[in-house]
Structure 1
Amino acid sequence: MLCFAYGSNMSTHRLAARIPARFVATALLPGYRLAFHQRSGDGSGKCDIVPASAQATVYGVIWDVASHHKPTLDQYEGLGHAYEEAWLTVSDIASSRQYEVQAYVGKITAHGVRPYGWYKHHVLAGAREHGLPLPYIRALERIEAFNDPDAKRHAREMAIHGIDEPFAREVF
């Protein structure tokens, strides 16, 4: 099954900590914008895609996920509670080939929520790793994040990227 990741699951390290998956392509989703307004149970904001003008675009990564691993990913994403499943058409950035993909779309949105620094780190790491356009990366960098009050969770999430400094709170 082809899944379109536009948030933290763009990062190979982040996704591999959850399930195995095979990279297919870097892609764009026209007519949508990225928002960090999906309210998480921990009070922080997670990524969501929102229909927008025809000029808007969300970039992301297409992963091939084995059907027996999909239920595990659904659990991580809170399918049925936090996110619902949608089928969308995205285009490969390099070849313009179109793919029908599954994506998670937020159900619990709120204004004024911000991501934790470690979550923003996952998103930026994936965007940089897969060579998303520089203006898109710069826009992600401008997203305001805040420190997770749970230092152990922060350390655990940063360790996914090989950062083991327990007090490393800077968001790049």
Structure 2
Amino acid sequence: MLYFAYGSNMATQRIAARVPARFVTTALLPAYRLAFHQRGGDGSGKCDIVPASAQSAVYGVIWEMASHHKPTLDRYEGLGAAYNETWLTVTDLASDRQFEVQAYIGNLTALGLRPYTWYKHHVLAEAREHGLPAYYLRALEGIEAHQDDNAERHAREMALYAPIEPLMSAT
């Protein structure tokens, strides 16, 4: 199955920690906008996609995963409580080919939520890694975020980006 990630699941490290998935391509979802108004279990703002004007668009990553891994991802995303699922048509940025993809849409939205800095980092780091357009990166950079008071959670989330130490060979 094909899954469209537009938030923190764009992060290769984050999706790999959740389910085995293969990168397919980067894609554009027209007539939607990205919002950080989904209430996370930690009380901060998480990503959601919202229908918007024809001039708006959300960029993201298409992952392919075996359908038997979907229930695991559904649990991470809180399917049925935090998020619902939908099927959308997105366009490959490289070839203009269209894909039918599964995506999650927020179910617990509220005004005034902001993401934690580590969550914003997930979204921004992977948007950069996957080469999303510069104007989109600037918009993500402009999202107001706040520091997580839970230093342990912040460190755990940021550890996904720690460089992997090379194995030392015994001599």
Structure-1 separation of matches of 2:99 and 2:141: 28
Shift of 1:161: 1.1
Q: 1:111-126 residue pairs with structure 2 within 5 A?
A: 111-126=111-126
1:148 is matched with 148
Q: 1:74-85 residue pairs with structure 2 within 5 A?
A: 74-85=74-85
Alignment check: 8 A CA contact 1:17 1:160 kept: no
State which structure, 1 or 2, has the greater radius of gyration over its C-alpha atoms: 2
1:98 is matched with 98
**C-alpha offsets along residues 60-86 of structure 1, whole Å, 9 cap, x if unaligned?**
000001112111110110000000000
Q: Which runs of 4+ in 1 moved over 4 A?
A: none
Q: Which amino acid aligns with 1:11?
A: A
Which structure shows the bigger proportion of residues in helix conformation? Answer: 2
2:14 is matched with 14
- Matched position secondary structure for 1:69: helix
Residue ranges of structure 2 left out of the alignment (5+ in a row): 164-171
Normalising by structure 1, report the TM-score.
Answer: 0.93
1:37 is matched with 37
Q: Which amino acid aligns with 1:82?
A: A
Alignment check: 8 A CA contact 1:118 1:157 kept: yes
Shift of 1:14: 1.2
- Report percent identity of matched pairs: 75
**C-alpha offsets along residues 98-136 of structure 1, whole Å, 9 cap, x if unaligned?**
000000000000000000011001001110010000000
- Matched position secondary structure for 1:68: helix
2:169 is matched with none
2:127 is matched with 127
Structure-1 separation of matches of 2:44 and 2:30: 26
Residue ranges of structure 1 left out of the alignment (5+ in a row): 164-172
